[in-house]
Amino acid sequence: MEAATKEFISSTGYGGHVGHGRPCHENYLKPPSSPLQKDSRSCSKQDVQLQSTRVEMGEVREENQRLKKSLDRIMKDYQNLQMKFFDIVQKDRIKTTNNTNNHQEIEESDQIVSLCLGRVTHDTKEDKKTVVSSKLKEDDQAKETSLTLGLDRRFELSDQSKVNAKSFEELKKEARETCWQHSKVLKTKRSGDDEVQQQNPVKKARVSVRARCNTPTMNDGCQWRKYGQKISKSHPCPRAYYRCTVSPSCPVRKQVQRCAEDISILITTYEGTHNHPLPMLATTMASTTSAAASMLLSESSSSQLPAGHSSSVTTANSTATANLHGPDFYKLDSLKSKHFYLSKSSFSSSVPSHPTITLDLTSSPSSSLPRFNIVSSEYRPKYSSATLNFNSSDSNAMSWVNGFLNYGRQPYNKNQIGNLSMGRQPVEDNYQSYMHKKDLTPQHSLLETIDTATKAITVDQRFQSALAIALTSIIDAGDIAAGGAQRN
């Protein structure tokens, strides 16, 4: 059957590129011309039906292949992002400890927010004390583990921290003190799940997503159950609390609240790590938020700003000329009418108990330029508060969008920064450049390193791939799934 279908597809010129090329239906619809075919005219109707069915099967098969390729790309994106994150963290730690004798900074360099980029191993015993090199090995092992969404904050014992055992002990003490409310949750009726407790021994980092959404919640691919709602005096809009219902023991929660300044902006904050496989939509979302968090938190772990202060860095044109290739960008047509602008995170300040990364996908009423913004907002002095502004500006703005939208339709433009191929070297060069620039003094390095980090991210097609998929998911699905998401 399959061979027959292949033969038919080949004979009709219908092989490959289903959905891209124009199928040659005319061929098999033509009346038979040979004498033998005339003899079998009585069966022509059945033949046509059979052939039509075979064509449909071929289409389905092609579609399946495309989906498989798309999935492979996403998984490669995830793995590359995770590899880069660990590379950056490792190098950053070394340089930080080399550049400073400050005890606190050494402590901070050891405190790493470990990002579960859509996957996590279930070997929770190794979570707390692992070195980066061993984590790289775990990456390979993680290929056979389940998908998760969220951030894990893990404390790792580096060589430097081994030397400075005192700081590490203080670190662990702080970890116990900042143990987030899972411990409280675990005291309740969900507390029977020891596995959850072991998996989440410390306070979770949060990833907050700001997006314009006219629906009560964004459809992020997960199933959520609302378990509470609060109205605070300082905020006119109520805050809704959701927990993941995909798995009964899943500790992941999210908070949904409208922005005080603009109620059309929906702020969704995720915390925790899924302990179950995720739908593709949620996986891409996890990749995006985690990638953003990884860059920013690796920055904040080595740089400091006073609490409550934030800085904004704009990298003009860095995105405009970046190569923005990634899978499924054809879906981003909806972005043509969307813009992205920088806005101050308001929700993060209302939930100040956790280090929070804000992915700002909102659009500025005062600017028509598309921007990607990632806002890191943390409350503690040891976490810097900074803004990464993925800003395309000036005349390059629309070319930036076009570069986004035309992925898969246009050949690689060599004039663009970055690379289309999956070869590592150009991207590695960007990161090497980024790491070079990170070799700065702590006093002035924050803005500049964030700037360079922004550039590093913006030229990294894998990060953009994940970002684009998540954006598409949010924008497309959010409008559709108002009732469904609310019912979740």
Per rule CB under 7 A, is residue 208 in the interface with DNA?
no
Identified binder of DNA from the candidate list 22, 189, 409, 414, rule CB under 7 A: 189
On whether the CB atoms of residues 256 and 268 are closer than 8 A, the answer is: yes
Distances (CA, A) of 44 to 27, 30, 277: 14, 11, 48
Q: Which stretch binds DNA (CB under 7 A): 52-60, 103-111, 240-248, 281-289?
A: 240-248
CA-CA distance, 189 to 287, in Å (whole number)? 31
Q: Which of 54, 84, 203, 239 lies at the binding interface for DNA (CB under 7 A)?
A: 239
Contact call for residue 246 and DNA (CB under 7 A): no
Contact 358, 375 (CB under 8 A): yes
Indicate the residue among 253 and 339 with the shorter CB distance to DNA. Answer: 253
Taking a C-beta distance cutoff of 8 angstroms, is the pair 392, 417 a contact?
Answer: no
Q: Which is nearer to DNA, 233 or 414 (CB)?
A: 233
Site for DNA in 251-280 (CB under 7 A): 253, 255
Q: Work out which of 232, 368, 410, 421 binds DNA, going by CB under 7 A.
A: 232
Give the x-and-dash track for 138-177 against DNA (CB under 7 A): ----------------------------------------
- Give all strands (DSSP E) within 297-456, no chain letters: 311-314, 356-360, 371-377, 386-391
Phi and psi angles of residue 288, each rounded to the nearest 5 degrees, phi first: -65, -55
- Choose among 209, 203, 266, 274: nearest CA to 239: 266
Identify which range of 4-12, 83-91, 225-233, 453-461 contacts DNA by CB under 7 A.
225-233
**How many Å apart are CA 11 and CA 19, to the nearest integer?**
18
Among 53, 198, 229, 421, binds DNA (CB under 7 A): 229
| CA-wise closest residue to 252 among 202, 188, 182, 198 | 182
Q: Which of residues 428-487 bind DNA (CB under 7 A)?
A: 486-487
Residue 296: count of CB within 10 angstroms of its CB:
29
Terminal-residue alpha carbon distance, the chain? 42
CB 269 within 8 A of CB 208: yes
Query: What value does the CA radius of gyration of the chain take, rounded to a whole number of Å?
Result: 25
For residue 186 the two structure tokens come to 């675990």
Among 227, 311, 408, 480, indicate the residue that binds DNA (CB under 7 A): 227
Binding flags for DNA, 280-319, as an x/- string (CB under 7 A): ----------------------------------------
Nearer to DNA, 138 or 378 (CB): 378
> Cβ 477 to DNA, closest distance in Å?
16
Phi, psi of 363 (to 5 degrees): -115, 145
Q: Quick check: 350 binds DNA (CB under 7 A)?
A: yes
In terms of CB distance, is 339 or 354 closer to DNA?
354
Distances 260 to 242, 345, 346, 353 between C-alpha atoms, Å:
20, 10, 7, 19
User: Of 90, 219, 223, 298, which lies in the binding site for DNA, with binding defined by CB under 7 A?
Assistant: 223
Q: Which one among 149, 240, 244, 361 touches DNA, defined by CB under 7 A?
A: 240
> Which residues of this protein are in contact with DNA, per CB under 7 A?
181, 184-185, 187-190, 223-230, 232-235, 239-241, 245, 253, 255, 350-351, 353-354, 486-488
